[in-house]
Amino acid sequence: MSGAVAIVGAGYTPLRAVSPQASFRELIFEAAVRAYEDAGIGPRDVDSFVTVAEDFQDGTCIVDEYTPDQLGAVQKPVQTISGDGLEGLGVAWMLVKTGQFPVVVLEGHSKASNVRHPAHIEAMALDPSFVRPHAWHPSFVAGLEMRRYLHDSGTTERQVACVAAKNKRNALRNPLAAFPAAVSPEQVLESRPVAEPLRELHMAPTADGAFVFILAAEDVLKRFRSQPVFVDSVAWVCDTCNLHTRDWGRAVYAEKAAEQAYAEAGIKDARSAFDLAEVDDTYAYKELQHLEALGLAGRGEAGKLVERGEFDASGRLPVNVSGGALGCGHLFESNPLRGLLEGVLQLRGQAGERQLGKARRGLVSSWRAVPTATGGVAVLSRR
Amino acid sequence: MDTKLRGTALREDDLRSGRVLTTEWRGKIQYTWDAGVAIGQFLDGLKAGKLLGRKCQQCQRVVIPPRMFCEICFRRSDEWVTLKDTGRINTFSVSYVNWDASRRTTPQVPAVIEIDGASPGMGILHMLGEVGESLEQVLASVQVGMPVQAVWKPAEQREGQITDVLYFRPVK
Amino acid sequence: MSKVAVLGAGMTKFMRRSLETGRELCWEAADAALQDAGLTIADIDCVVIVTAPDAFDGVHMKGEYLLDGAGAKGKPMVRPYVGGGSGVFGPIAAWYHIASGRYRTCLVVGEERMSPTQPHPQGAFNAIYDQFTERPLGVNLLWIFSLEMMRYMQVYGIPLETIAQVAVKNKRNAKDHPACQLGAELTVEQVIESEVMSYPVRRLMVSPVTDGAAAMVLANEEFARKKGGKHVWVEGVGWALDTSYWTNRDLCYPEYVEKAARAAYKMAGITKPREEIHVAEPYDPFAYKELHHLEGLMLADKGQAPKLLEQGYWDRDTTNGIPASPSGGLLGVGNPIAAAGLMKAAEIYYQLSGKAGARQVQRNVKRGLAQAWGDLMQVGTVIVMGV
């Protein structure tokens, strides 16, 4: 119970705009096989399983039903969390820390391509009495937030466009990424307006794929053949999704989650603590808003820094070197699992073309997308 | 425990009379699911008038609905098996209620049918037909353990759906 | 293993249709539980929200929508969602939040509003079935229960009259439950002669569709002892999920409930459950399920729970048996899914702390369990509590 928790296995499928070659079960099975191979174990060695999913993202009432088979978890303790990958990571982490479940599997996937009208599903998360009757495209929530963030922070639209260009370019060196592209900030600025100031190339298009991670308690690490990546802390905070009472300019949930995660991981100065950060960029402006909330940039500074190249792959602190959601694809609840994977690969020295020298500590942050004000922060390290 | 619990119970009349107002929302909640390898082949088999299963050589189970992996052995399953289109009733019911809770005058008879050629206990969900129009008639003609036979749509009407089998009927 | 205590519980009435929104129902239950525990929301470190299909309330990401009412604004909140098993899984999740050492206190809120779904909440359940191999058949929730009930009756030769007695027992027990709007004195004949929904299921064997919310407060040992007083402790938890291929399983026996029970008993150090469990709240959405689950919990041999029922073994006033569903259960009090499971867990807390009022069981109770079930005849969730 007092020991650390580490990631000892990671499996995944490539992320692609469509995945007609495999059902969701087959995608998850592929990721699970890879994860077990990576760790050198089988499902019988696992004590508990956690999956993250939402009914309406898959089109099934009670998605939990369709989780155990492809993980090898039949008749084992399995739970589905209606939350994002970092909440799932948090639950898996807590299970290990109880001392009752030394080895825990975490799974997340996206079959976003199977959702015919994603905007309707997104709209279904809006308040039924006060917001839905307006019948606006739900992107309006992000548009309102972006406008306020630009106003409060003094960030320019070009700086936001730099985020999109950076992440899509980073994705060119990630074979897993669904939407690598060599776009310029100007192209982003000229893309079709969706909910101004939000534009099309600010928005991460959806992709399909699956992730499986294996977590283990420090005292059983000898069982695994992979190099452990320690989860020093994982925290999450839920703020209200009520549009009427929120702070539109700030990501308060990220500030609070970071405070808790940094305290638990002993991080005193966030700016110098990390070798990489995978920060939610479901919309390009969110990366900047989150960087400030996470203390990786001063208030109103993130835009200037990204324009200067501080957060490029070759910059002082590479942010979303994986390509982020903008480059890899928006994976619903599994966005942070893509970030988590990048953290694991980088800290193990397995990131190939994208390898950032000797990375020792990484940060992953998440946001559950419109209309939520919920997100998490995880600190990873190598010993 | 506090015996005065909170909560305001409404009656149907509260809504009908307009004392309580509501908002309504209809969304387009639609999906086009990727069938993938196992189910894709299963649906093709249905179109061809066949019930297909998969075999795991390790545990020797022949399973239907087919899956490309054995969930017990946790390994890729090994071969396709064409099963019979007959089976035995594992359990059945006689339903007078539709999906939306509205009532029926004639019953539907759903059943779990263990398919011949698959491992014991390998059932699928389907309907029984030609078993009567009333509860009494159905109970007289159907028993757990009874052998049944698939009745297929004519080949040119099959679509590659589970409904390519219209129903299962008692073996005469 | 670190000890986790239950400090309080609360709930709303269970109503056919509430005026209150889901958020408001959460608030009413959470406020009642905090008052019972003598705490405020500031004392709560984290929140667990349990609520079953989003389709009922008609809100996607329902947990996010409800969190304001559940006191979770600005706090860490998770929503574990294991179908009907969620109500008992709520306190299980609170247990691992606290036993991990990370949080001192946890508020669990269970909410269900079934009434918004039109034309009938039952329709939302069509989508529990496999989209390729089952949904095209024009499926219906009642089928899966009636198929299981038929199998259970056939394999063990259980008469319909005995199953009907569960409904009679629970609806009578429910008359003493403050959340219950429609307790009843029924006869076995009335139950058997009620409308055939999906044979062999009859209308009075089905728990009523309802809106409602319940809540519990749990805390670590240090916090509980500082508060003082005698506490109810979580002694064991277990959960298990069977294969989604339900038609490949024999539905006559819930193996996944046994697996969950074994895990909970092991954690609690229980080797003879029939002697060491003094009161039980087995999940009873349909009359036969209570018996099915009592067997899965190993409190009766396979196929034997009905015989014991006939002997009065599961009656609330039994002195040599194990009272089952003294609350009145889902059949009696109502079935706002996640809230109902949590209501049953709360009942064990009330029974063990002697706070069950007119529902207090006759025999001396030191240990009890609550169990819920869910998904495609798939999930068992079990919590053992003791004093």
- Structure confidence by residue, pLDDT tens digits, C279-304: 999 999 999 999 999 999 999 999 99
- The pLDDT of A55-62, averaged and rounded, is 96
Confidence band for C88, pLDDT divided at 50, 70 and 90:
very high
Q: Do C96 and A94 touch (CB under 8 A)?
A: yes
**Sequence-distant (≥ 6) Cβ neighbours of residue C327 within 8 angstroms:** C173, C174, C177, C281, C333, C343, C344, C347, C359
- Cα distances from A352 to residues A34, A309, A317, B12, in angstroms, run 18, 22, 18, 65
Find the CB nearest A116 among B25, B30, B67.
B30
Find the CB nearest A129 among B23, B31, B72.
B23
Confidence band for B113, pLDDT divided at 50, 70 and 90:
very high
Find the CB nearest B28 among A29, A68, A120.
A120
Confidence band for A33, pLDDT divided at 50, 70 and 90:
very high
Mutate to test the interface with A, among B23, B28, B69, B99 (most CBs of A within 10 A): B69
pLDDT at C182: 75
- Structure confidence by residue, pLDDT tens digits, A162-221: 999 999 999 999 999 999 999 999 999 999 999 999 999 999 999 999 999 999 999 999
pLDDT at C1: 64
Chain C CB contacts of B165 below 8 Å = none
pLDDT surpassing 70 at residue C143: yes
Q: Do B90 and C151 touch (CB under 8 A)?
A: yes
A109 strand-pairing partners: A210
pLDDT surpassing 80 at residue C183: no
Q: Which of A328-332, B13-17, C306-310 has the lowest mean pLDDT?
A: B13-17
- Cα distances from B6 to residues A32, C49, C161, C213, C328, in angstroms, run 47, 19, 36, 10, 19
Q: Do A117 and B28 touch (CB under 8 A)?
A: yes
Q: What angle do CA A17, A23, A25 make, to 5 degrees?
A: 120
- Structure confidence by residue, pLDDT tens digits, A147-166: 999 999 999 999 999 999 99
Confidence band for B50, pLDDT divided at 50, 70 and 90:
very high
pLDDT at A245: 87
Burial readout A235-245 (b: 16 or more C-beta within 10 A, e: otherwise)? bbbbbbbbbee
pLDDT at B16: 87
C 199-258 → B contacts, CB under 8 A = 199-201, 211-212, 243, 245, 247-251
Sign of CA dihedral C278, C279, C283, C285: positive
Confidence band for C121, pLDDT divided at 50, 70 and 90:
confident
Q: Are C205 and C188 in contact (CB under 8 A)?
A: no
- Give the number of other Cβ atoms within 10 Å of residue A196's Cβ: 11
Question: What count of CB pairs under 8 Å joins A to B?
Answer: 78
Chains in contact with C, where contact requires at least 3 CB pairs less than 8 Å apart: A, B
ipTM over 0.95: yes
Q: Is the model's pTM score more than 0.90? A: yes
- Smallest Cα distance from B155 to chain C, Å: 18
- Smallest Cα distance from A123 to chain B, Å: 8
Give the residue on A whose Cα is nearest the Cα of C261. Answer: A77
- Smallest Cα distance from C316 to chain A, Å: 31
B 80-119 → C contacts, CB under 8 A = 90-102, 107-108, 110-112
pLDDT at C127: 95
Q: Are A40 and A218 in contact (CB under 8 A)?
A: no
A 272-301 → C contacts, CB under 8 A = none
pLDDT surpassing 70 at residue A84: yes
- Structure confidence by residue, pLDDT tens digits, C201-221: 999 999 988 999 999 999 999
Chains in contact with B, where contact requires at least 3 CB pairs less than 8 Å apart: A, C
Mutate to test the interface with B, among C11, C133, C175, C342 (most CBs of B within 10 A): C133
DSSP sequence for C163-221: HHHHHHHHHHHHTT-TT-S------HHHHHHSPEEEETEEGGGBPPB-EEEEEEEEEEH
pLDDT at A1: 53
DSSP sequence for A34-76: HHHHHHT--GGG--EEEEE--HHHHT-SSGGGGSSGGGT-TTB
pLDDT at A2: 63
